[in-house]
Amino acid sequence: MYKNILVPVLIDEVHDTQASYLVARALADEGAKFAVLHVMETIPSFVATQLPDDVLAKSRHEAEKALKESAAALPGASTHLESGHAGRFIVDYANEHEIDCIIMASHRPGIEDYFLGSTAARVVRHAQCAVHVIR
C-alpha cells in the first residue's frame, strides 16, 4: 500500500514501539522505505546554559543508541534523531521527505487532551499524507 513510511517513536521504558513496527510492515509495499524518527523536545536556553556540556551530549548519545536498538526491529529502517516540537517536526519531516504514510502510537485520551492536545492529534490534523494511529 505505502512506499515511504515514517514511524515516529518515543524512546522510554513505558512506550512499546513494536505495534507500530508491525503495522508498518503490514502496510508496506514490497521495497518500501522506513524512517524511524524520535524528536527530542528542545531544552530552553536558560536551562541549557546551566547544564554541563557533557550532560547534553551524553543524553543525545544515549537517545541515538536506544533509537537504533529500537529500529532494529524494522529491518532496513533509517533512524533520525532530531530536536524541536514533536508534532510540528513530524509533519514537516513528512512533507519534506515525501512520506506517504505516518504510523504512530497514541496514549488513551484524557481530559488534558481537550486543553493541551497531543502529538498524534496535531499530526492527524496537519499531515498531508495518510496517518495511522495505534492505541
Q: For residue 71, what is the domain's CATH number?
A: 3.40.50.620
> 92-109, pLDDT tens digit by residue?
999 999 999 999 988 766
> 13-26, pLDDT tens digit by residue?
767 789 999 999 99
Query: What is the percent of the chain where pLDDT is above 70?
Result: 91
For residue 108, the tally of other CB atoms under 10 A from its CB is: 6
Q: Which domain holds residue 93?
A: 2-134
How large is the angle between the packed helices 86-96 and 119-126, nearest 10 degrees? 30
> 33-58, pLDDT tens digit by residue?
999 999 998 888 888 888 887 988 89
Q: What is the mean pLDDT of the chain?
A: 89
Number of domains in the chain: 1
> At residue 130, what are phi and psi to the nearest 5 degrees?
-65, 140
